[in-house]
C-alpha cells in the first residue's frame, strides 16, 4: 500500500497518546486555540414546509449573503433514505483496508474520484485527519462505476435513489436562490450548465484522534463547487468562519447543510458569498459526512452573469472553464 490511510494509522499502537508530526497544524490553525467559545449567532435554519414561499426565498437569500451557509429542515428527502446512505457509507469504511484500496484514486490524476486521503496541495506539507471516497452520482454519462463500492451490495441502489432526490432538491435551491436576487428562477442553473450540471458524492471519514486540539479534518477553505449539500452524522465538527471567529455548526437531526460555493459567488458577482469553513475531529468518536458537490461541467465557462453586472458593479471575477478554476484552486495557484 503506497499511501498510509488515517484509518490505518489510528489502528496502529503508535497513536494512543500522540499524532504524527505531519498532522500537527500551525498554532494559528489549531482548533484548541482558534475556536470561539463565547456567545455566538446560530447558522440560519430554513424550514421548507413554511407556507409562505416568499419568506423561504427571502431567508435563503439573506443567509447566502450574510453567511454563505444555512441548514434546511423538512426538505423532502426521506429520512430513511438518508439513514440508508449513511449506513452503506459506514459499511464501506468498515471493510478491511485491502478491500477499500481496490477503489483507490491515482495521486496526480485529473479526476478526484476514488478512495483517498489527500485532496488539495498543502503549502505547509501538512496532512489532514481524514480519509474519503469520491464518485459522481449524476448525470449517467459521467458516472464511473469502478469507483462505486460493490460491498455492501445495496451501495449502488441507495446512491442512485439519493441522486434522484438530490436533483429535485438542488433544482429547488437554485430556483429560489435565483429568485432571491430578483431574477428569473432558472438564471443560476442555466449559468452553471443547465441539465449538464454534475453531482459528485464524497464520504468523509474522520477517525477518533488522540490530539484533536492540534489537528484538523479539513483546514479552512471555501468549496470549489456551485453549492454543496451535506449530510452530517451526530458528531460535531463543522466550523464556520463568521465575523472573525470560528464557530461550531449545531447538529440538527435530519437537517441538510447547504454551502454556497465559489461558482455561485462568481455567477452572482459576489452578491452571494462562498462560506469559509473547516472540520475538526473528536477524541473518542468517528465523525462522518456525506457532501454532494454540485458542479458545472468541466469545459463549461463560468463567470459573472450579465444580470449581476452594471457600470456601478463591474465584474469582480474572471470567466474561465470550470476545470481550469478547479485546477488552480487545488494546486494553490492564482485565479
Q: Which are the catalytic amino acids? A: 202, 221, 223, 277
Question: Any idea what DSSP says for residue 185?
Answer: T
Give the distance between the most distant pair of CA atoms in the chain.
Answer: 63
| Residues 89, 86: Cα–Cα separation, whole Å | 5
Please state whether 88 falls in left (phi above 0), alpha (psi between -120 and 50) or beta. alpha
Q: Which long-range contacts (CB under 8 A, 24 or more apart) does 282-286 make?
A: 282/206, 282/208, 282/209, 282/212, 282/235, 282/236, 282/237, 283/208, 283/209, 283/210, 283/212, 284/208, 285/208, 285/235, 286/205, 286/206, 286/207, 286/208, 286/233, 286/235
- DSSP assignment of 254-301: T-EEEEE-HHHHHHTTTSS-PPPEEE---SSS-EEEEEEEEE--TT-E
Pairing of strands 277-279, 238-242: antiparallel
Short-list 139, 143, 128, CA closest to 212: 128
SS3 content of the chain, % helix, strand, coil (to 5): 35, 20, 45
Short-list 299, 105, 89, CA closest to 201: 89
Q: What are phi and psi of 27, to 5 degrees?
A: -55, -35
| Residues 156, 150: Cα–Cα separation, whole Å | 8
Question: Any idea what DSSP says for residue 215?
Answer: -
- DSSP assignment of 242-253: ETTEEEEPPP-T
Pairing of strands 277-279, 114-116: unpaired
Amino acid at each position: 500500500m503506497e499511501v498510509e490511510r488515517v484509518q490505518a494509522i489510528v489502528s496502529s499502537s503508535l497513536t494512543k497518546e500522540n499524532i504524527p508530526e505531519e498532522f500537527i497544524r500551525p498554532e494559528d490553525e489549531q482548533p484548541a486555540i482558534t475556536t470561539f467559545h463565547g456567545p455566538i449567532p446560530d447558522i440560519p435554519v430554513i424550514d421548507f414546509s413554511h407556507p409562505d414561499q416568499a419568506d423561504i426565498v427571502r431567508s435563503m437569500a439573506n443567509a447566502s449573503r450574510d453567511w454563505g451557509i444555512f441548514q434546511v429542515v423538512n426538505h423532502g428527502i426521506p429520512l430513511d433514505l438518508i439513514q440508508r446512505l449513511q449506513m452503506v457509507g459506514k459499511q464501506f469504511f468498515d471493510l478491511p483496508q485491502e478491500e477499500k484500496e481496490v477503489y483507490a484514486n491515482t495521486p496526480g490524476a485529473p479526476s478526484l474520484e476514488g478512495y483517498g486521503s489527500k485532496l488539495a496541495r498543502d503549502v505547509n506539507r501538512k496532512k489532514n485527519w481524514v480519509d474519503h471516497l469520491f464518485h459522481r452520482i449524476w448525470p449517467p454519462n459521467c458516472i464511473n462505476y469502478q469507483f462505486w463500492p460493490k460491498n455492501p451490495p445495496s451501495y449502488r441502489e441507495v446512491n442512485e435513489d439519493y441522486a434522484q432526490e438530490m436533483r429535485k432538491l438542488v433544482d429547488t435551491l437554485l430556483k429560489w436562490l435565483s429568485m432571491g436576487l430578483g431574477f428569473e428562477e432558472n438564471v443560476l442553473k442555466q449559468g452553471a450548465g443547465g441539465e449538464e450540471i454534475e453531482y459528485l458524492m464524497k464520504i468523509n471519514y474522520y477517525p477518533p484522534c488522540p490530539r484533536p486540539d492540534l489537528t484538523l479534518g479539513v483546514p479552512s477553505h471555501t468549496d470549489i463547487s456551485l453549492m454543496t449539500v451535506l449530510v452530517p452524522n451526530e458528531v460535531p465538527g463543522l466550523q464556520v468562519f463568521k465575523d472573525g471567529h470560528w464557530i461550531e455548526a449545531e447538529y440538527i437531526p435530519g437537517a441538510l447543510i447547504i454551502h454556497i460555493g465559489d461558482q455561485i459567488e462568481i455567477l452572482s458577482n459576489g452578491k452571494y458569498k462562498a462560506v469559509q469553513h473547516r472540520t475538526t475531529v473528536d477524541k473518542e468518536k468517528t465523525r462522518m459526512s456525506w457532501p454532494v458537490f454540485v458542479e458545472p461541467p468541466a469545459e463549461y465557462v463560468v463567470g459573472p452573469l450579465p444580470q449581476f453586472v452594471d457600470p456601478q458593479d463591474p465584474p469582480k471575477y474572471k470567466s474561465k472553464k470550470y476545470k481550469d478554476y478547479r485546477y488552480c484552486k487545488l494546486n494553490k495557484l492564482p485565479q
